[in-house]
Structure 1
């Protein structure tokens, strides 16, 4: 798995849970398949900027808040 996609997915999941929104509700609001939301959160896919903005809008945050910091992507 790509580290960037995995870190982004983890941040989206964290924000979604903080907003108390289910994957189903987020998917419906963003017009994205629920299974695809799951794949995003697991870091299995690279999403488009358009989808990032849709997701951020539904999670009431700016897209840059969902982007991982460079330090999160450094090899361990």
Structure 2
């Protein structure tokens, strides 16, 4: 069982790497700061709903697809 922030961070990092984006590129596309992307990927920060939607859009996916992957990593 993983912490939900850690699970979200791993999913985000995996999706970002699959899209061949740097943290800086993802941050720019999502209109958030690069250090915030780093903190989310390391499980130190929990994104707001608005940030989730921005990240999903930047990764050309949906928030529900991201959350489904996170849900699979976390035992609720």
TM-score when scaled to structure 2? 0.87
Distance across 2 between alignment mates of 1:13 and 1:23: 9
**Equivalent residue for 1:47?**
47
Over the residues paired in the alignment, what is the CA RMSD in angstroms? 1.7
Distance across 1 between alignment mates of 2:59 and 2:30: 10
Q: Kindly report which structure 2 residues correspond to 1:8-47, keeping only aligned pairs within 5 A, or say none.
A: 8-47=8-47
SS of aligned partner of 2:32: coil
Which contiguous aligned blocks of 4+ residues in structure 1 show a shift greater than 3 angstroms?
Answer: none
Structure 2's unaligned 5+ residue stretches are: none
- Say if 2:56 is the partner of 1:59: no
Distance across 2 between alignment mates of 1:66 and 1:30: 15
Instruction: Figure out how many residues of one structure are paired with residues of the other and give that number.
Output: 73
SS of aligned partner of 1:43: coil
Q: CA deviation at 1:64?
A: 1.4
Structure 1's unaligned 5+ residue stretches are: none
